[in-house]
Amino acid sequence: MLPANEIKGVLAFLREAERLKSVIRSGYTSTGRPESTAEHTWRLCLMAMLLADGLGDIDVARLLKICIVHDLGEALHGDVPAVAQVEGDDRAARERADIETLTQSLDDKRRAELLGLWHDYETGASPEGRLAKGLDKLETILQHTQGLNPADFDYAFNLDYGARHTAVHPLVSAIRAELDNDTRARMALQQASGAPH
């Protein structure tokens, strides 16, 4: 049993983290609705769970925890799509500050764990951190190839997006190759329809 103050702290944190359900990303679902950061994170975790046995000697629980917290900082200031990111923007520092704010209600142990997991994702300090980042890129590309996107969607962006992060493991690279083929197929359909790109 947890002490009452820790329970209250966890509940306060979860109430703040709920904001991720309303943070809209640049990708679209297969029905054409903009996806939320929470939805992206859910499928990233599902992907990590399903692929874990093909990733070698990794700490699966740690990988999943990193996936869960990787975009937590977006709860306060939203998602900045990769196509809109600019050189010199210290997004990582802003997200770190946001996570520090979000986790203020947690006890020191839980807060340190979440901050450490997020830091691992940002820096790739462990195999799990590097894999989480690679899988994160794959989930985004998968959504781009599956979503009901606007006619002028820039599929070509996918072909370079996160390339160094998806080269982290042979399985991740193999999935990337499949998704690149899917991207090229979507590009061909877009060109055949005469849509701008």
Give pLDDT tens digits along the chain (197 positions).
Answer: 999 999 999 999 999 999 999 999 989 999 999 999 999 999 999 999 999 999 999 999 999 999 999 999 999 887 776 655 667 777 778 889 999 999 999 999 999 999 999 999 999 999 999 999 999 999 999 999 999 999 999 999 999 999 999 999 999 999 999 999 999 999 999 988 876 55
- Say if residue 31 is exposed, middle or buried (CB neighbours under 10 Å; 0-12, 13-18, 19+): exposed
Q: What is the pLDDT of residue 82?
A: 66
Q: Is 25 helix (H, G, I), strand (E, B) or coil?
A: strand
φ/ψ of 88, rounded to 5, equals: 90, -10
pTM as predicted:
0.93
Strand partners, 181: none
Q: What is the pLDDT of residue 166?
A: 98
Domains of the chain from N-terminus onward = 4-14+35-193 (1.10.3210.10)
Q: What is the pLDDT of residue 143?
A: 97
User: In the chain, which ranges are continuous DSSP H helix?
Assistant: 4-17, 37-51, 60-69, 74-77, 91-102, 108-123, 127-146, 156-160, 163-166, 170-193
Q: What is the pLDDT of residue 90?
A: 77
**110: which residues sit within 8 A by CB, 6+ positions away?**
6, 9, 10, 13, 103
Max CA-CA distance within the chain?
62
